[in-house]
Amino acid sequence: DAHVQAPTAASVILAAVLLKMGSYGMIRFNLQLFPDASVQWAPYVAVLAVIGIIYGAWVSYAQTDMKKLVAYTSVSHMGFVVLGIFAMAAASIQGSLLQMLNHGISTGGLFLIVGMLYERRHTRQMSAYGGLWATAPLLGGFALLIALSSMGLPGTNGFVGEFTILLGSVGSSLTGVIFTLFAATGVILAAIYILAFFQKVFMGEVKHEENRSLPRLHWTELAVLIPIVIMILWIGLAPNTFLAPMDPSVNALVQEVQPAVTEIAQLP
């Protein structure tokens, strides 16, 4: 509701910055101050994370309002972050940290695209669009790349974050194969709702005459979208630029929680 009611700029700030306060708190306070309790509750939190991944994707697909659809994707994406944190493996925590950045880039970019469409047509209903690929190809190109990064296409930032989380989760004694398999279905569901959104808005025939003469992207809009595209490709093609600086702090964190993880793993 906060996403939908807020103006575009506030939605971007909410997605890119404020949502990360919760996951930051999990790393900074839960894991570092209370490692034993975090390990004991990790399977229960992982259940909630997987539910969030699947439920968020399912609800996103049901939306007819573009902004609501993008808002519910945040539930799904942040579920991956929570799963990676409470898997408490080096790879999964690194993936969660990177995915926190990725979510701000991809979801913030989608909110910007929706905001630009709203400024032109003053409606967020997907039924009011269709065929924009032919009438606004540049906007469609930006929307396609940002949408593909949100669904985790290889070569984009979303793939690196989600794959690293799942890689760490599958080898963790706290989550393991079962949790990871259920979480991986979220990747498939993301492809479904993102491609459905793009098809309804940009593909097909032009159904409404108002869509035939949409204003072109202004240079200020390009100035916002181009850095997002650069970050999507930079993280997707050269992820070690961002992962390597995390190594010392992530390894130190894992060493702090490892005794508690080992103790739980040895219990019958």
Bridge partner residues of 125 (DSSP):
65
144-196 pLDDT, tens per residue? 999 999 988 999 998 999 999 999 999 887 787 888 999 999 889 999 999 99
pLDDT for residue 264: 67
State whether the Cα torsion 166-169-171-175 is positive or negative. Answer: negative
pLDDT for residue 214: 84
Share of the chain above pLDDT 70, in %: 98
- Structure-derived torsion over alpha carbons of residues 240, 94, 83, 176, reported in degrees to the nearest 10: 80
116-130 pLDDT, tens per residue? 998 888 888 888 898
pLDDT for residue 265: 58
Question: How confident is the prediction for the chain on average, in pLDDT?
Answer: 89
56-102 pLDDT, tens per residue? 999 999 998 999 999 998 899 999 999 999 988 889 999 999 999 99
205-242 pLDDT, tens per residue? 888 888 888 888 889 989 999 999 999 999 999 999 99
How large is the average pLDDT for residues 13-20? Answer: 87
Within the chain, what is the greatest distance between any pair of CA atoms?
68
Share of the chain above pLDDT 90, in %: 49
pLDDT for residue 267: 57
pLDDT for residue 111: 92
Report the C-alpha gap between 21 and 78 in whole angstroms: 11
Nearest alpha carbon to residue 170 among 161, 183, 159:
183
Of the candidate ranges 14-18, 48-52, 256-260, the one whose mean pLDDT is the lowest: 256-260
